[in-house]
Amino acid sequence: MDLTRLEINRRTALLTSAAIAANVINPMRAFAQETPRKGGVFNVHYGAEQRQLNPSIQASTGVYIIGGKIQENLVDLDANGQPVGVLAESWEAAPDGKTVTFKLRKGVTWHDGKPFTSADVEFTAMNMWKKILNYGSTLQLFLTAVDTPDPQTAVFHYERPMPLNLLLRALPDLGYISAKHLYESGDIRQNPTNLAPVGTGPFKFVKYERGQYIIADRNPDYWRPNAPYLDRIVWRVITDRAAAAAQMEAGELHYSPFSGLTISDMARLSKDKRFIVSTKGNEGNARTNTIEFNFRRKELSDIRVRRAVAHAINVPFFIDNFLGDFAKLGTGPIPSTSTDFYPGANTPQYPYDKAKAAALLDEAGFKAGAGGTRFSLKLLPAPWGEDISLWSTFVQQSLGEVGITVDIVRNDGGGFLKQVYDGHAFDLASGWHQYRNDPAVSTTVWYRSGQPKGAPWTNQWDWQDATVDKTIDDAATEIDPARRKALYAEFVKEVNTELPVWMPIEQIFVTVISAKARNHSNTPRWGSASWHDLWLSA
Partner 1 sequence: MRILGLAGRRLAASIPTLILILIGVFLLLQLAPGDTVDALMAQMGGGDAATARELRKFYGLDLSVPVQLGNYLWRLIRLDLGFSSIYGKPVATVILERLPPTILLMTASLSFAFFFGLLFGVIAARGVNRWPDTLISTLGLIFYATPSFWFGLMAIVVFSIYLQWLPAGGFQDIGTVQTGIWGVIDIAKHLVLPTLTLGLIFLAIYLRIMRASMLEVLNLDYVRTARAKGLDETRVVTRHVLRNALLPMVTLIGLQAGTMLGGSVVVESVFSLPGLGRLAYESVVQRDLNTLLGIVFVSALLVIVVNFIVDLLYARLDPRIAAEG
Q: Which residues bind partner 1 (CB under 8 A)?
A: 41, 48-52, 58-62, 132, 134-135, 137-138, 189-190, 194-195, 209-213, 215, 234, 236-240, 242-243, 246-247, 249-250, 252, 411-419, 422-423, 434, 442, 452-458
Query: Residue 519: exposed, middle, or buried by beta-carbon count in 10 A (0-12, 13-18, 19+)?
Result: middle
Q: Which is nearer to partner 1, 165 or 442 (CB)?
A: 442
Burial 398-425 (b: 16+ CB within 10 A, else e): bbeebbbebeebebeeeebbebbbeebe
Cβ at position 383, least distance to partner 1 in Å:
9
Q: Which is nearer to partner 1, 48 or 345 (CB)?
A: 48
For residues 505 and 325, give the distance between their C-alpha atoms in angstroms, rounded to a whole number.
Answer: 12
Cα angle, residue 7 at apex, residues 5 and 11 outer, rounded to 5°: 135
For strand 375-381 and strand 404-408, is the pairing parallel, antiparallel, or unpaired? parallel
Single-letter amino acid code for the residue at 364: A
Cα angle, residue 285 at apex, residues 281 and 286 outer, rounded to 5°: 110
Q: Which is nearer to partner 1, 106 or 410 (CB)?
A: 410
Q: Which is nearer to partner 1, 348 or 383 (CB)?
A: 383
Q: Which is nearer to partner 1, 260 or 324 (CB)?
A: 260
Name every residue whose Cβ is closer than 8 Å to that of residue 39 and which is 6 or more positions away in sequence: 229, 230, 231, 536
Cβ at position 24, least distance to partner 1 in Å:
23
Name every residue whose Cβ is closer than 8 Å to that of residue 283 and which is 6 or more positions away in sequence: 81, 337, 508, 524
Q: Which is nearer to partner 1, 344 or 454 (CB)?
A: 454
Cβ at position 275, least distance to partner 1 in Å:
13
Query: Residue 317: exposed, middle, or buried by beta-carbon count in 10 A (0-12, 13-18, 19+)?
Result: middle
Cβ at position 531, least distance to partner 1 in Å:
18
Which H helix or E strand runs over 213?
Answer: strand 213-218
CA distances from 420 to 377, 378, 427 (A): 14, 11, 9
Name every residue whose Cβ is closer than 8 Å to that of residue 313 and which is 6 or more positions away in sequence: 352, 394, 395, 398, 399, 504
Cβ at position 112, least distance to partner 1 in Å:
21
Cβ at position 491, least distance to partner 1 in Å:
20
Cβ at position 301, least distance to partner 1 in Å:
24
Q: Which is nearer to partner 1, 408 or 455 (CB)?
A: 455
Residue 367 backbone class (left: φ over 0; alpha: ψ -120 to 50; beta: rest): beta
Q: Which is nearer to partner 1, 137 or 152 (CB)?
A: 137
Cβ at position 205, least distance to partner 1 in Å:
15
Q: Which is nearer to partner 1, 15 or 237 (CB)?
A: 237
Q: Which is nearer to partner 1, 52 or 519 (CB)?
A: 52
Q: Which is nearer to partner 1, 85 or 527 (CB)?
A: 527
Cβ at position 337, least distance to partner 1 in Å:
18
Cβ at position 416, least distance to partner 1 in Å:
7
CA distances from 245 to 258, 262, 267, 272 (A): 14, 8, 11, 12
Cβ at position 356, least distance to partner 1 in Å:
35
Query: Residue 213: exposed, middle, or buried by beta-carbon count in 10 A (0-12, 13-18, 19+)?
Result: middle
Cβ atoms 17, 266 nearer than 8 A: yes
Q: Which is nearer to partner 1, 60 or 477 (CB)?
A: 60
Q: What stretches of 384-442 adopt beta strand conformation (E)? A: 404-408, 428-430, 432-434
Cβ at position 359, least distance to partner 1 in Å:
38
Q: Which is nearer to partner 1, 134 or 346 (CB)?
A: 134
Supply the DSSP symbol for 227.
Answer: -
Distance of CA 201 to the CA centre of its chain: 22
Closest CA to 506 of 285, 351, 349, 257: 285
Closest CA to 62 of 77, 71, 79, 50: 50
Closest CA to 406 of 386, 426, 434: 426
For residues 277 and 291, give the distance between their C-alpha atoms in angstroms, rounded to a whole number.
Answer: 28
Closest CA to 228 of 7, 41, 373, 438: 41
Cβ at position 431, least distance to partner 1 in Å:
10
